[in-house]
Amino acid sequence: MIEVSGLTKAYGDLVVVDDFDVTIEQGDSVALWGPNGAGKTTVIRCLLGLVSYDGTITVNGMDAKDDGKAVRSLIGYVPQELSFYDDMVVIDLLDYSASLRGIAPERVDEVVEMIGLEDHQQKLVRELSGGLKQRLGLATALAPDPPILLLDEPTSNLDAGARESTIRLLDDLKHQGRTLVVTSHHLEEVGMLVDRVIAMEAGVVVTECAPHDLAERLGISAWLHLITSKDQAAQAQTVLTEAGFSARMNSQGVLVEVSAQQKGMAVTALAEAGIEIEDLEVWR
């Protein structure tokens, strides 16, 4: 269990995390969600004892300051981007990380296979794509089979395919009963990964809720791109405007601003007017 109480971190006069409290039970999956500069990564760094802070952090009853090594032995950490150790061979980096945790080499082989790095283990880190580097980060974090995983923006540098496979892997890990703490600024990703979201802004917790409630609570709207035939685009804009939406035409159809609960209503309004929707996309 992770208990954070009164966590405050300042760089000079700049307070980046202010009186942050959270309790995360074993097996919970929690996202720290917010824009860049919200303080999410700083909370992760405090949990790992990488920066000084005021307040208390305990993990399974151990103080993160006094028992830092023991606390870190329970945590697998995946950094936002593995942009270092570029000249190391992948398997050497994994072996090095494992040796610092006292893990047997056989376990490294297991993790390489589990993460799907078999064909890349003799490459230099710098030769890996963003997605493979993310997998390498995951491999180093998973090698000790830790009960807690801290993931800093785990999909931020990934293309659509790599993002999907990473989310699937993390979902598996969640169902294995691991505690997941994820930082993210992607609303959809948070919905797929975790059961609880702590929204932060300027170092302060704004709200804490289930992922599907977040958009409504924070009044976050999305743009729905409804693709229609060119002949019907103008009519679609009129229908949507009359239904109370803010809508405008573009080359493929209409763009309509919708709140979290209104996406279906916009589609229904067009269907009732007899306008055929060929495809749709949600933009945030």
Partner 1 sequence: MTMTADRVITERPEMTTILRVARKELRSSVTSRWFWMWVLAFVGLALILVLVALPSTRIGGQAGFGRTAASLVTLVQIIVPLMALTLGALSIAAQRETGALRFLMSHPISRTEAFWGLYLGNSAVLAVATTAGFGAAGVLTISRGVTDGTATFAWIAFASWLLAMAMLGIGMLISTFAKRSSAALGVAVFVWLILVFIGDLGVMGTAAATNMPVSVLFFTALANPVEAFRLLALTAFAGSLDALGPAGVYAVDTLGDNLDLSLLIVLLLWLALPVLAAWQRFRGKADL
Q: Where are the beta strands (DSSP E) in 122-195?
A: 148-152, 179-184
Per CB under 8 A, the segment of 44-52, 156-164, 223-231, 241-249 that binds partner 1 is 44-52
Instruction: For the segment 69-98, give every residue that binds partner 1 (CB under 8 A).
Output: 69-70, 72-75, 77, 79, 81-85, 87-88, 96-97
CA distance 7 to 20: 5
**Residue closer to partner 1 (CB basis): 27 or 191:** 27
Contact (CB, 8 A) for 47 and 2: yes
Taking the complex as a whole, how short is the minimal distance between the CB of residue 139 and partner 1, in angstroms? 13
Contact (CB, 8 A) for 32 and 200: yes
Taking the complex as a whole, how short is the minimal distance between the CB of residue 260 and partner 1, in angstroms? 35
**φ/ψ of residue 110, rounded to 5:** -60, -45
Instruction: For the segment 51-70, give every residue that binds partner 1 (CB under 8 A).
Output: 51-52, 62, 66-70
**Residue closer to partner 1 (CB basis): 87 or 119:** 87
**Residues in binding contact with partner 1, number by CB under 8 A:** 33
SS3 state at 264: helix
Taking the complex as a whole, how short is the minimal distance between the CB of residue 74 and partner 1, in angstroms? 6
**φ/ψ of residue 60, rounded to 5:** 50, 40
Q: Which residues contact 119 (CB under 8 A, 6 or more apart)?
A: none
Number of helices (H) and strands (E), helices first, in the chain? 10, 14
CA-based diameter of the chain, in Å?
Answer: 69
Q: Contact letters (x/-) for partner 1, 129-148, by CB under 8 A?
A: ------------------x-
**Residue closer to partner 1 (CB basis): 141 or 270:** 141
What token pair was written down for 169?
A: 């892997």
**Which member of 1, 19, 45, 257 binds partner 1 (CB under 8 A)?**
45
Instruction: Give the residues across from 253 on adjacent strands.
Output: 227, 250
**Residue closer to partner 1 (CB basis): 88 or 280:** 88
Interacting residues toward partner 1 by CB under 8 A: 11, 45, 48-52, 62, 66-70, 72-75, 77, 79, 81-85, 87-88, 96-97, 99-102, 147
